[in-house]
Amino acid sequence: MMTATIDLGGKEVVLFLAHALTPLHAGSSADISWIDLPLQREVHTGLPIIQASGVKGTLREVAEKDWGKERTDEIFGPDTEESSEYASAIAFTDLRLLLFPVRSWKGIFVWASCPLVLERLRRDLQVLGLGSSLSVPTEIDIKNNNALVADRTILVGENRLILEDFVFEAREDHGLKGFAQDLQKSLFSGDKDFWGQKLETSLVILSDESFLSFVRFSTEVVTRIKINNETGVVQEGALWTEEHLPTESILYGFALAEKVRRKDNKNQKDAKWVRGEIIELLDNKLVWMGGDITVGRGMVKLTVLNGR
């Protein structure tokens, strides 16, 4: 049964991907975990996300550098002191995890996803009128110890896929190839270089339970310390752990544009104009997102999927 497109009230939609080129820490201050600074996660699924407020804050900072303050305020809304004057002309969703890198016995690592993640993506695209943007696989039914692969080259023997310390019975699914190629064209501009070929051959679909296990227990956890300058040893109480999305994680999100709300909008800058500006801001852009930027964390490449 198809999901109906909803009335967006004149809003224009931009679909974009975020590809982590270094470990990414979008932190949460509270969780039932031994990790001091865990990742932001959905409460009901446990899947990692980057909250919309952090996404918008990051992109506003990028916009101010690229556009200057006046144009940024026009689209993102005024500073806090003048926030009652008019609202932003752009809204962002949370970034949701799409592909998670998992260590593999063959091919070093694979990009893994699961039916729940793909069905959500398909539903989101359909509801927002972007159903043709990606050829998302449908009706995937996988048992816990099974997997689907886009290419047999990552299999061991006839049908074994070895990820971390787990062995899955796998089979090649040609329907995944089109999805992998769509992503490859967007993330790597269609280039058949190492990374373009890697994505085409290393896409894996696991069961929801297996995928959630990996995103729970195969993230990167680092221990941080602070050195006392006077004693040269670790400062008392300054020892903590942080959780990061690993390098090569791929997330997706949406930007929804509407007309500029500023009172002096003499040129009647509409939602299509705002969408065009956002595409210019996001597409093929390198940004820094999350925490620990000064130690090389959070380098992310953004790519627009429906703006070319």
- pLDDT tens digits along 63-86: 999 999 989 999 998 876 666 678
Residue 1 has a pLDDT of 46
Residue 228 has a pLDDT of 62
Residue 230 has a pLDDT of 67
| E strand or H helix at 212 | helix 208-217
pTM above 0.75, yes or no: yes
Exposed, middle or buried: residue 294 (CB in 10 Å: 0-12, 13-18, 19+)?
A: exposed
Residue 15 has a pLDDT of 95
Per-residue pLDDT tens digits for 81-105: 666 678 899 999 999 999 999 999 9
Residue 30 has a pLDDT of 59
CA distance 269 to 75: 10
Please answer whether residues 59 and 75 qualify as being in contact, where contact means their C-beta atoms are separated by less than 8 angstroms.
no
Which CATH fold would you assign to the domain 9-26+52-93+245-308?
Answer: Elongation Factor Tu (Ef-tu); domain 3 (2.40.30)
Cα-flanking dihedrals φ and ψ of residue 146, to 5°?
-115, 165
CB atoms within 10 A of CB 274: 24
Compute the chain's Rg from CA coordinates. Answer: 21
Question: To 10 degrees, the CA torsion angle through 4, 8, 9, 13?
Answer: -140
Please answer whether residues 239 and 227 qualify as being in contact, where contact means their C-beta atoms are separated by less than 8 angstroms.
no
CA distance 50 to 31: 15
DSSP state of 280: H
| E strand or H helix at 253 | strand 250-257
Per-residue pLDDT tens digits for 251-264: 999 999 999 887 77
Q: CA nearest 20: which of 220, 289, 212?
A: 289
Residue 306 has a pLDDT of 78
Beta pairing class for 203-206 and 109-113: parallel
Domains of the chain, by residue range, sit at: 9-26+52-93+245-308, 100-218
Helix (H, G, I), strand (E, B) or coil at 221: strand
